[in-house]
Amino acid sequence: MTDLVHTRDDLAALLAPVAGRIAVVMTMGALHDGHRQLMRVAREQSDYVIVTIFVNPLQFGPGEDFEKYPRTLEEDLAICRAEGVQAVFAPSRDDVYPGGPPSITMHPGPLGEILEGASRPGHFSGMLTVVQKLLMLTRADVAYFGEKDFQQLALIRRMARDLELGVEIEGVPTVRESDGLALSSRNRYLSADQRVSALALSRALREGAAQSDPESVLAAAHKILADEPGVRVDYLALTGADLGAAPEEGEARLLVAARVGSTRLIDNVPLQLRKDS
């Protein structure tokens, strides 16, 4: 049975008798197989799983898709029930931010000013603020996030560590369609032709990751993207595994953000850099 609650008081009452390891999967709804995988991992590793469904206004900038972001609560509940989730917390804006927007918010620091942070000012402050609030409201011992939003995952890990939140933050590998497109709630905005164009993102990442040195990685990925006129690249970046500078050899990350039509998509892959022998 999956319990649905909408207020912080009802959530507190629901959690009062709960014993064992509590896991939270935070979402903005419009659930897909990537969210299902987060739930499955949480169920395997925890005693009690809460899914939160809240479209957070603080992380949307001017001209972004807050108003048209899909709200599909009944379909989302069916998915949560099918995955054996014990509770869904779907609060209103007033319940998350009583009294209006918070006067104190989380600052993401230098890591929040690059990549997505440079393209979407204020996004990570709003994201970290709601994550911190939901961690406290759900009393979570562990939280699961997808690696598709890799910079988000890195910032949440840093926040949990720096602020001694006492919560484990676990990343789950990106779930993809059979053709390689990373699953995203925004994929539903793509027309059939745009979806074909969007495949250039994952194709560029795969081609880049097949190379061994930083220059070749970026050149190979850039070529794939440049050859697809339906893709407008926001950034393509090669970083270290911690989003710092890319090493000459060792673990690294290749990240891309681009618009296909009016839809902004992000993706990334891990890779190993090697010096030529």
Q: Which of 6, 35, 107, 123 is catalytic?
A: 35
- Burial class for 106, CB neighbours closer than 10 Å (0-12, 13-18, 19+): buried
Distance of alpha carbon 23 from alpha carbon 42, whole angstroms = 6
Instruction: Tell me whether residue 222 is one of the annotated catalytic residues.
Output: no
3-state secondary structure at position 139? coil
Q: Which amino acid is at 260?
A: V
Residue 252 tokens, joined: 């690294």
Distance of alpha carbon 24 from alpha carbon 93, whole angstroms = 19
Distance of alpha carbon 22 from alpha carbon 18, whole angstroms = 8
Where residue 261 falls (left for φ over 0; alpha for ψ -120 to 50; beta otherwise) is left
Among candidates 218, 178, 224, 219, which has minimal Cα distance to 201?
224
Strand order in the sheet with 250-260: 231-240, 250-260, 263-273
In what helix (H) or strand (E) does residue 256 lie, and over which residues does it extend?
strand 250-260
- H helices of 46-83, in order, are 73-82
- For 134, phi then psi, to 5°, come to -70, -35
Active site residues per annotation? 35
